[in-house]
Structure 1
Amino acid sequence: MTRGALAAGPLLLAGVGTGHTAPGVLAAIAAMLAGINDRPGSRRASVRRLGVPALAGALGLLAGTYAGQGLAAVPLTLVLTLLGLLAGGISAVGPVASAAGTHLLVGAAIGAGMPAAASGWQRALAFLAGAGWLLLLRLALPTPGSLAGHSRFDFRFDGERAAVAEVYDAIAALLDAVGGERATARRAALTAALDHAQDALAGPRLRRRAGSAAERRLHAQYVAALPLAEAATALFWAGEPVSVRAAEGPRRLAAAVRGNTGTGPLPSPHRSAPALRALDDALLRAAEAFDRAGDAHQRPPARRRDVRHAVRAALGTGGREYGLRVALCFGASAAIAQALHHTRWYGQHQHWYWLPATAVFLVKPDLGPLASRVLCRAAGTVLGALVFAGLAALLPRPAGLIALVAVCGALVPVATRHFAALTAVVTVLVLALVMAGGEPQASVSRIGETLLACALVLVVGHLPMPGERGGGVRARLATAGSAAHAYLVHVLGESGDRAERWALRREAYRTLAEARTAIALAAAELPALARHTAGTDTVAVVLERLVDTTTACAVHLDETGRLTPRHVRQLRAALDELRLQGVEVPLPAAA
Structure 2
Amino acid sequence: MPPWLAHALRTQRGPVPWSAVVRGALAAGPLLLVAVLADRTSLGVVAAIAAMLAGINDRPGSRRAAVRRLGAPALAGAGGLLAGTYAGDGLGAVALTLVLTGLGLLAGGMSAIGPVASGAGTQLLVAAAVGAGMPLPESGWARALAFLAGAGWLLVLRLALPTPGALTGDFRFDGERAAVADVYQAVAALLDAAGTEQATARRAALTAALDHAQDALAGPRMRRYASSATERRLHAQYAAALPLSEAATALAWAGEPVSGRASEGPRRLAAAVRENAPTGPLPAPSRSAPALRALDDALLQAADAFDQGGGGDLHTRRRSPGDLLRTALGVGGREYGMRVALCFGASAAIAQALHHSHWYGQHTHWYWLPATAVFLVKPDLGPLVSRVLCRAAGTVLGALVFAGFVAVLPRPEGLVALVALCGALIPVSTRHFAAQTTVVTVLVLALVMVGGEPQASVSRIGETLLACALVLIVGHLPMPGERGGHVRARLAAAATAAHAYLVHVLDGSDDRAARWTLRREAYRTLAEARTAISLAAAELPALARHSEGTDEVAALLERLVDTTTACAVHLDDTGRLDSRHSDLLRELLGELAVQGERVGLQTEIPGRAAAVHAGQSAGQRPSLTGRRRSRRGGWSGSVVR
How high is the TM-score relative to the length of structure 2? 0.90
1:85 aligns with 2:85: no
8 Å contact kept, 1:377–1:419: yes
1:8-32 deviations in whole A, cap 9, x for unaligned? 0000001111011111100000000
1:411 aligns with 2:425: yes
1:334 aligns with 2:348: yes
8 Å contact kept, 2:355–2:361: no
Task: Quote the Cα distance in structure 2 between the aligned partners of 1:186 and 1:84.
Answer: 39
Partner of 2:27 in structure 1? Answer: 7
8 Å contact kept, 2:110–2:117: yes
Task: Quote the Cα distance in structure 2 between the aligned partners of 1:100 and 1:571.
Answer: 41
Task: Quote the Cα distance in structure 2 between the aligned partners of 1:345 and 1:453.
Answer: 17
Instruction: State the shift of 1:207 in Å.
Output: 10
Partner of 2:250 in structure 1? Answer: 234
Aligned equivalent of 1:139, options 144, 147, 159:
159
SS of equivalent residue, structure 1 residue 346:
coil
Q: Counterpart amino acid of 1:185?
A: A
1:96 aligns with 2:110: no
1:313 aligns with 2:333: no
Aligned equivalent of 2:435, options 400, 417, 421:
421
Partner of 1:213 in structure 2? Answer: 229
8 Å contact kept, 2:316–2:520: no
8 Å contact kept, 2:265–2:284: no
- Which runs of structure 2 are paired with 1:515-526 in the superposition (5 Å)? 515-526=529-540
8 Å contact kept, 1:304–1:507: no
Partner of 2:139 in structure 1? Answer: 119
Aligned equivalent of 1:551, options 565, 568, 585:
565
Partner of 1:38 in structure 2? Answer: 58
Aligned equivalent of 1:64, options 84, 87, 106:
84
Aligned equivalent of 2:298, options 270, 274, 282:
282
8 Å contact kept, 1:31–1:134: yes
Partner of 2:511 in structure 1? Answer: 497
8 Å contact kept, 1:557–1:563: yes
Task: Quote the Cα distance in structure 2 between the aligned partners of 1:549 and 1:269.
Answer: 22
* Contiguous gaps of at least 5 residues in structure 1: none
Instruction: State the shift of 1:116 in Å.
Output: 1.8
Partner of 2:548 in structure 1? Answer: 534
Aligned equivalent of 1:380, options 394, 417, 431:
394
Q: Counterpart amino acid of 2:446?
A: A
SS of equivalent residue, structure 2 residue 435:
helix
Instruction: State the shift of 1:585 in Å.
Output: 2.1
Partner of 1:509 in structure 2? Answer: 523
Partner of 2:11 in structure 1? Answer: none
Partner of 1:432 in structure 2? Answer: 446
Task: Quote the Cα distance in structure 2 between the aligned partners of 1:404 and 1:238.
Answer: 56
Instruction: State the shift of 1:538 in Å.
Output: 0.4
Task: Quote the Cα distance in structure 1 between the aligned partners of 2:224 and 2:30.
Answer: 32
- Which runs of structure 2 are paired with 1:554-565 in the superposition (5 Å)? 554-565=568-579
Q: Counterpart amino acid of 1:291?
A: D
1:269 aligns with 2:281: no
8 Å contact kept, 2:110–2:328: yes
8 Å contact kept, 2:224–2:313: no
1:318-347 deviations in whole A, cap 9, x for unaligned? 111111000000000000000000334333
8 Å contact kept, 1:578–1:585: no
1:144-165 deviations in whole A, cap 9, x for unaligned? 1123xxx4x2100000000000
Task: Quote the Cα distance in structure 2 between the aligned partners of 1:470 and 1:288.
Answer: 48
Q: Counterpart amino acid of 2:463?
A: E
Instruction: State the shift of 1:351 in Å.
Output: 1.9
8 Å contact kept, 2:224–2:311: no
8 Å contact kept, 2:101–2:344: yes
Partner of 2:12 in structure 1? Answer: none
Q: Counterpart amino acid of 1:282?
A: A
Partner of 1:50 in structure 2? Answer: 70
Q: Counterpart amino acid of 2:292?
A: L
1:533-590 deviations in whole A, cap 9, x for unaligned? 0000000000001100110111111111111111111111111111112222235257
Partner of 2:7 in structure 1? Answer: none
Q: Counterpart amino acid of 1:109?
A: A
1:85-106 deviations in whole A, cap 9, x for unaligned? 1100110111111111000000
Q: Counterpart amino acid of 2:406?
A: A
Aligned equivalent of 2:359, options 345, 349, 364:
345
SS of equivalent residue, structure 2 residue 282:
coil
Partner of 1:259 in structure 2? Answer: 275
8 Å contact kept, 1:376–1:419: yes
Task: Quote the Cα distance in structure 2 between the aligned partners of 1:347 and 1:144.
Answer: 49
SS of equivalent residue, structure 1 residue 184:
helix
Task: Quote the Cα distance in structure 2 between the aligned partners of 1:73 and 1:272.
Answer: 75
1:400-441 deviations in whole A, cap 9, x for unaligned? 000000000000000000000000000000000010011111
8 Å contact kept, 1:575–1:586: no
8 Å contact kept, 1:67–1:112: yes
SS of equivalent residue, structure 1 residue 98:
helix
8 Å contact kept, 1:27–1:129: yes
Q: Counterpart amino acid of 2:522?
A: A
1:398 aligns with 2:412: yes
1:160 aligns with 2:180: no
Task: Quote the Cα distance in structure 1 between the aligned partners of 2:164 and 2:479.
Answer: 48
Task: Quote the Cα distance in structure 1 between the aligned partners of 2:103 and 2:284.
Answer: 61
Q: Which moved more, 1:39-48 or 1:364-373?
A: 364-373
Task: Quote the Cα distance in structure 2 between the aligned partners of 1:202 and 1:60.
Answer: 27
8 Å contact kept, 1:80–1:330: yes
Instruction: State the shift of 1:210 in Å.
Output: 3.0
Q: Counterpart amino acid of 1:71?
A: L
Pairs aligned (count):
585
Aligned equivalent of 1:179, options 172, 188, 195:
195
1:367 aligns with 2:381: yes
8 Å contact kept, 2:238–2:312: no
1:462-519 deviations in whole A, cap 9, x for unaligned? 0010100000000000000110111111111111111111010000000000000000
8 Å contact kept, 1:384–1:424: yes
The sequence identity of aligned pairs, in percent, is: 79
Task: Quote the Cα distance in structure 1 between the aligned partners of 2:557 and 2:187.
Answer: 21
Partner of 1:443 in structure 2? Answer: 457
Partner of 2:493 in structure 1? Answer: 479
Task: Quote the Cα distance in structure 2 between the aligned partners of 1:104 and 1:268.
Answer: 53
Q: Counterpart amino acid of 1:191?
A: T
